[in-house]
């Protein structure tokens, strides 16, 4: 069975602060995919990043960065110099590697509020 835990249900920061969203997962699979999605108030989930389990290289995309640590089963997401437009619910998700249905297991989500 797979499980994704996002322990932070809600985070509030002031604009320009850095913020890290935690994601811890459990799986018996040796190979898998991890994802982050953003859900702004409009409701649509927007895909941010995919990481496969055999690539532990961290990734940076503008103000966003992701830290994948297989040893601790964590895939944390950091926003540097946060902006009001970053306010959203963020979901971490896990998928088996060889799965035709790409069945995603989602965490409970973290609501990020960035105040001006």
Q: At 112, list the tokens.
A: 């990020």
* Region near other proteins per CB under 8 A, out of 1-9, 18-26, 67-75, 78-86: 1-9
Q: Residue 61 or 116: which CB sits closer to other proteins?
A: 61
Here the contacts of 66-75 (C-beta below 8 Å, separation 24 or greater) are: 66/36, 68/34, 72/24, 73/24, 73/25, 73/26, 73/27, 74/22, 74/23, 74/24, 74/25, 75/23, 75/25, 75/34, 75/36, 75/51
Distance (Å, rounded) from C-alpha 42 to C-alpha 52?
29
Q: Would you count residue 104 as binding other proteins (CB under 8 A)?
A: yes
Instruction: Write the binding mask 26 to 65 for other proteins: x where contact by CB under 8 A, - elsewhere.
Output: -------x-x-x----xxxxxx--x-x-------------
Determine the interface stretch with other proteins among 14-22, 60-68, 71-79, 103-111 (rule: CB under 8 A): 103-111
Task: Give me the residues that bind other proteins (CB under 8 A), please.
Answer: 4, 6, 9, 33, 35, 37, 42-47, 50, 52, 91, 93, 95-104, 106-109
């Amino acid at each position: 069975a797979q499980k994704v835990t996002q322990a932070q249900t809600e985070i509030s920061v002031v604009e320009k602060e850095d913020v890290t969203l935690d994601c811890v997962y459990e799986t018996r699979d040796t190979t898998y995919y991890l994802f982050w999605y953003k859900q702004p108030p409009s409701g649509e989930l927007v895909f941010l990043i995919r990481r496969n389990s055999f690539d532990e290289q961290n990734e940076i995309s503008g103000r966003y960065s992701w830290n994948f640590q297989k040893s601790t089963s964590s895939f944390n997401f950091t926003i540097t110099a946060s902006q009001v437009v970053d306010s959203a619910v963020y979901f971490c998700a896990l998928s088996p590697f060889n799965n035709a249905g790409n069945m995603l297991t989602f965490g409970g989500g973290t609501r990020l509020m960035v105040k001006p």
